[in-house]
């Protein structure tokens, strides 16, 4: 009964955020994807793309980045809330994770549900098939640590699972899709909220006000806090991090939802970059540029939550840039 109550409470809270919106569309965010052109490309991040989504192309796009994952490798992904079904499937990601001898890493949630403690989180990972393909580490099972942050407007630091310091390299392997609070979930959301401990998640959601409550911050303050937490992770990793996003099962809801809405548009592909801001921008651009009429639902979710503001703030604080060169590999 308690678990059922927590799940209902979470959905009610997310519904409250669903009312937070931006009345005007973000014109600067409606550009079509950047293709290779004659503009000087020296400092423009490359975003690689395969339209075909399969395990072989996932390995190939990792190799295209030219940055080898060495040492003890953390692969940050979502193991999916029990009841959900849109998360990245083990059969798709198995070859990549085993190629880098990676460990799947997660932290416990801060909203109740089926992954709020280590025992239930491990069970969810097992039930969804992840423990069959790689070790799974719930990084805040034994506590948390603080990562320093420079240039934060809301956060003084980032609070992550203590086990994160055990890893030499991080692969941010994200399922790009919508999100009830952030508008969309991609690389930045995965590395900020995802690597944060339960207390760290509350710290981000409350825009730095609390580690015990989500609070009720302004929407832009929450979005900016996600970008700031992501920067703390990126600064910690230096060049020992890379970003891959799979844009499939494009629901307006995230993998933390136990009853996500079914996707209304078709899959886009696999994208990868060494710049998380460029990667998230490319994914959103490709949604907007799609000829699939069903895109209107995902675009509405992104814009109604002012989701592109996350990228604007991320660029302002130096996490990355929104301009990119799209390199299609198929």
**pLDDT at residue 10, rounded to an integer:** 39
Phi first, then psi, for residue 206 (nearest 5°) are -90, 5
Query: 3-class SS at 272?
Result: strand
- Tens digit of each residue's pLDDT (9 = 90 or more) over 201-254: 999 999 999 999 988 999 999 999 999 999 999 999 999 999 999 999 999 988
For residue 317, with 0-12 CB atoms within 10 Å meaning exposed, 13-18 middle and 19 or more buried, which class applies? Answer: middle
Residue 243 is given by DSSP the state E
**pLDDT at residue 33, rounded to an integer:** 55
Q: What is the rounded distance in angstroms from the CA atom of residue 260 to the CA atom of residue 249?
A: 10
Q: What is the rounded distance in angstroms from the CA atom of residue 80 to the CA atom of residue 164?
A: 20
**pLDDT at residue 85, rounded to an integer:** 84
Structure tokens at 22: 């931006």
Architecture of domain 2-7+46-328: 3-Layer(aba) Sandwich (3.40)
Q: What is the rounded distance in angstroms from the CA atom of residue 148 to the CA atom of residue 66?
A: 28
DSSP 27-49: GGG-PPPPBP-SS--TTPPEEEE
Strands 325-328 and 269-273: unpaired
**pLDDT of 176 above 50:** yes
Structure tokens at 304: 């109604």
- Band of residue 81 on the pLDDT scale cut at 50, 70, 90: confident
Alpha helices (H) in the chain, listed in sequence order: 2-18, 55-64, 90-99, 118-127, 187-192, 198-205, 219-237, 276-289, 295-304, 309-316
Ordered by start, the domain boundaries in the chain are 2-7+46-328
For residue 10, with 0-12 CB atoms within 10 Å meaning exposed, 13-18 middle and 19 or more buried, which class applies? Answer: buried
- Mean pLDDT of the region 320-328: 98
- Tens digit of each residue's pLDDT (9 = 90 or more) over 99-117: 999 999 999 988 777 787 8
**pLDDT at residue 260, rounded to an integer:** 81
**pLDDT of 192 above 60:** yes
Angle ∠(120,123,129) on CA atoms, nearest 5: 145
**pLDDT of 54 above 50:** yes
Structure tokens at 187: 């690389």
Question: 185, 194, 145, 137: which is closest to 165 by C-alpha?
Answer: 145
- Mean pLDDT of the region 22-51: 59
**pLDDT of 34 above 70:** no
Query: 3-class SS at 323?
Result: coil
Phi first, then psi, for residue 175 (nearest 5°) are -95, 110
- Mean pLDDT of the region 133-151: 97
Q: Rounded to whole angstroms, what are the CA distances from 319 to 169, 202, 224, 316?
A: 18, 22, 12, 8
Q: Within 10 A of 92 (CB to CB), how many other CB atoms are there?
A: 17
**pLDDT at residue 21, rounded to an integer:** 37
Question: 329, 248, 249: which is closest to 59 by C-alpha?
Answer: 329
């Amino acid at each position: 009964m308690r678990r059922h109550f927590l799940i209902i409470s979470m959905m009610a809270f997310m519904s409250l955020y669903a009312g937070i919106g931006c009345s005007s569309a973000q014109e600067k965010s409606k550009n079509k994807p950047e293709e290779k052109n004659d503009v000087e490309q020296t400092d423009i991040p490359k975003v690689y793309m395969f339209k075909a989504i399969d395990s072989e192309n996932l390995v190939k796009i990792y190799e295209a980045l030219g940055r080898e994952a060495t040492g003890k490798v953390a692969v940050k992904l979502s193991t999916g809330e029990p009841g959900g079904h849109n998360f990245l499937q083990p059969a798709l990601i198995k070859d990549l994770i085993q190629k880098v001898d990676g460990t799947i890493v997660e932290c416990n949630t801060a909203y109740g549900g089926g992954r709020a403690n280590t025992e239930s989180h491990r069970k969810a990972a097992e039930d969804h098939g992840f423990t069959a393909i790689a070790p799974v580490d719930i990084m805040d099972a034994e506590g948390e640590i603080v990562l320093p942050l420079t240039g934060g407007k809301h956060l003084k630091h980032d609070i992550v699972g203590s086990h994160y310091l055990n890893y030499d390299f991080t692969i941010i392997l994200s399922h790009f899709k919508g999100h009830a609070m952030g508008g969309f979930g991609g690389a930045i959301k995965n590395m900020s909220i995802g690597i944060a401990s339960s207390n760290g998640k509350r710290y981000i959601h409350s825009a730095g006000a609390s580690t015990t409550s989500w609070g009720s911050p302004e929407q832009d303050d929450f979005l900016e806090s996600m970008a700031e937490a992501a920067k703390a992770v990126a600064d910690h990793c230096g060049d020992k991090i890379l970003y891959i996003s799979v844009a499939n099962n494009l629901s307006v809801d995230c993998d933390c939802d136990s009853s996500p809405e079914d996707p209304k548009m078709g899959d886009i592909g696999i994208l990868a970059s060494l710049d998380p801001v460029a990667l998230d921008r490319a994914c959103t651009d490709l949604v907007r540029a799609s000829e699939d009429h069903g895109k209107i639902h995902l675009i509405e979710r992104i814009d109604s939550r002012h989701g592109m503001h996350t990228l604007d703030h991320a660029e302002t604080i130096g996490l990355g840039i929104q301009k990119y060169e799209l390199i299609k590999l198929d």
